Amino acid sequence: MTAGIQSEARAQILSLVRDFVRRDVEPVASRYDNEDIYPGELADKMAELGLFGITIPEEYGGLGLDYTTFAMIFEELSKGWMSVSGIIGTHHVMSYMIASFGTEEQKRRFLPRMAEGKIRGGLALTEPEAGSDVQSIQTAATKDGEEYVLNGSKMFITHAENGNAFAVLAKTDKGTDPPYRGISCFIVEKPSTGLTVGRHLDKLGYRGLDTCELIFDDCRVATENLVGGEEGQGFRQLMSALETGRINIAARAVGVATAALEAALRYAQQRRAFGVPISQHQAIQLKLAEMATKVQAARLLTYDAAAKKDAGERVDLEAGMAKLFASEVCAEVALEAMRVHGGYGYLKDFPVERYYRDAPLMIIGEGTNEIQKLIIARRLLEKYKI
């Protein structure tokens, strides 16, 4: 796709997304969030808009858009309600793994259905005793003829109830050194014998989108569902895919932070204290200036990581920086917006309390920020090795 066509496609899809958010998402966000209702009709409309196929290549039925547009879409969705971005978040991590590392047969079998939204995917990585420490996963896959038998459990799985396919990381060889060389990735569709959805997890924020356990008890998966057809490649496939995941988390953080900033700007001009709008008080002006500057810096870091991904570069350093900075800014700006609102910001009548509850997810998700700092430091030391 040429730059001109890409730019035109970006403008069109962003316009459609903004209209969707304004018309369909914003009117229901507070109620769905408060009552923890899954927005099935919004997911269907997102499928109609093609949002399940943003970065899936056109030859497989997707939009084939660049990662800068991808980031902008996640930002716009999250400004309206961050939970709706989660419907397609790990779906795109899964589609990236198949598009980048899958066999041609796997690409043709899965990607067109993923682009249409018939397959709504997710990532089954985290376990009760293994999160950021991927090498410590205990879910095992044992080959039995033309099938693998999966046993283990996964925790904090987004879209576990309402999704219908997952990229599942499992150990096919527990004796490798280092352990990551024994990790493989499988595509497991629902329903599958031996796969059950465990308890629905009641969360502080990110509500309305199901997060559950997945339990694998002698779950049989065909050998042709081993991503790439080769054992031991799952860790490498995952690390590459998580670069895109961290770009989308950074973009979500920018979206929530922007919504909080805009809410603070509106309220500061409406609320009066000591005879004038509080926006005329220097203390509030200083807050707004710092908030806006940090949000813009987070946005530019995110777009920079996306642009480098579009150029085919390795971006674990840039994506880690963007995710780290944007998520911390999001939490800070959400709190500052609440402080601008005063007591009203603490009420569910105003959306800033939702922004405040949603912000921590970006700090914790796709690898905690403490892990991001380690990744950033290691990459810097590699880059500037003496």
**Does residue 138 sit in the same domain as residue 184?**
yes
**Does residue 318 sit in the same domain as residue 223?**
no
Q: pLDDT of 186-232, one tens digit each?
A: 999 999 999 999 999 999 999 999 999 999 999 999 999 999 999 99
Q: Among 119, 148, 177, which residue terminates a domain?
A: 119
pLDDT of amino acid 9 = 81
**Does residue 263 sit in the same domain as residue 327?**
yes
**Does residue 45 sit in the same domain as residue 23?**
yes
Place of tokens 């043709």: 108
Alpha carbon distance, N-terminus to C-terminus of the chain = 41
Provide the percentage of residues in the chain whose pLDDT is more than 70: 99
pLDDT of amino acid 178 = 94
**Does residue 308 sit in the same domain as residue 261?**
yes
**Average pLDDT over all residues of the chain:** 96
Residue 26 has pLDDT above 90, yes or no: yes
pLDDT of amino acid 2 = 59
pLDDT of amino acid 1 = 54
Q: Known catalytic residue: 146?
A: no
pLDDT of amino acid 273 = 95
Residue 118 has pLDDT above 70, yes or no: yes
For range 281-298, the mean pLDDT:
98
Q: How many structural domains compose the chain?
A: 3
Report CA-CA distances (Å) from 60 to 51, 94, 98, 236.
14, 15, 11, 23
Place of tokens 């629902």: 190
CB 132 within 8 A of CB 369: no
The residue range of the domain holding 164 is 122-232
Closest CA to 13 of 82, 85, 70, 90: 70
**Does residue 60 sit in the same domain as residue 142?**
no
Q: pLDDT of 268-286, one tens digit each?
A: 999 999 999 999 999 999 9
pLDDT of amino acid 261 = 98
Residue 243 sits at the vertex; the CA angle it makes with 125 and 97, to the nearest 5 degrees, is 60
Q: Among 232, 261, 294, which residue terminates a domain?
A: 232
- Catalytic residue (choose from 336, 366, 370, 382): 366
Structure tokens at 327: 């998520």
CB 324 within 8 A of CB 373: yes
Beta bridge partners of 216: 152, 195
Structure tokens at 295: 């949000």
Q: What is the CATH number of the domain that holds 277?
A: 1.20.140.10
pLDDT tier, 7 (very low <50, low <70, confident <90, very high otherwise): confident
**Does residue 111 sit in the same domain as residue 133?**
no
Burial (CB < 10 A; 0-12, 13-18, 19+), residue 146, is exposed
Burial (CB < 10 A; 0-12, 13-18, 19+), residue 296, is middle
Inter-axis angle of helices 369-383 and 316-341, nearest 10: 140
Task: Please list the alpha-helical segments (H only) found in the chain.
Answer: 3-20, 26-35, 40-48, 67-80, 82-101, 104-116, 234-270, 282-310, 316-341, 352-364, 369-383
Q: What is the CATH number of the domain that holds 89?
A: 1.10.540.10
pLDDT of amino acid 132 = 83
**Does residue 347 sit in the same domain as residue 241?**
yes
Question: What DSSP character marks residue 226?
Answer: B
Q: What is the CATH number of the domain that holds 162?
A: 2.40.110.10
**Does residue 51 sit in the same domain as residue 130?**
no
pLDDT tier, 5 (very low <50, low <70, confident <90, very high otherwise): low
For range 244-264, the mean pLDDT:
98
Closest CA to 183 of 175, 173, 193, 192: 173
Q: Among 70, 85, 119, which residue terminates a domain?
A: 119
pLDDT of amino acid 226 = 98
Residue 23 has pLDDT above 80, yes or no: yes
pLDDT tier, 245 (very low <50, low <70, confident <90, very high otherwise): very high
**Does residue 227 sit in the same domain as residue 340?**
no
Q: pLDDT of 309-336, one tens digit each?
A: 999 999 999 999 999 999 999 999 999 9
Place of tokens 């997707």: 62
**Does residue 181 sit in the same domain as residue 200?**
yes
**Does residue 128 sit in the same domain as residue 41?**
no
DSSP-derived 3-state class of residue 366: coil
In this structure, how many other beta carbons lie within 10 angstroms of the beta carbon of residue 346?
13
CB 319 within 8 A of CB 246: yes
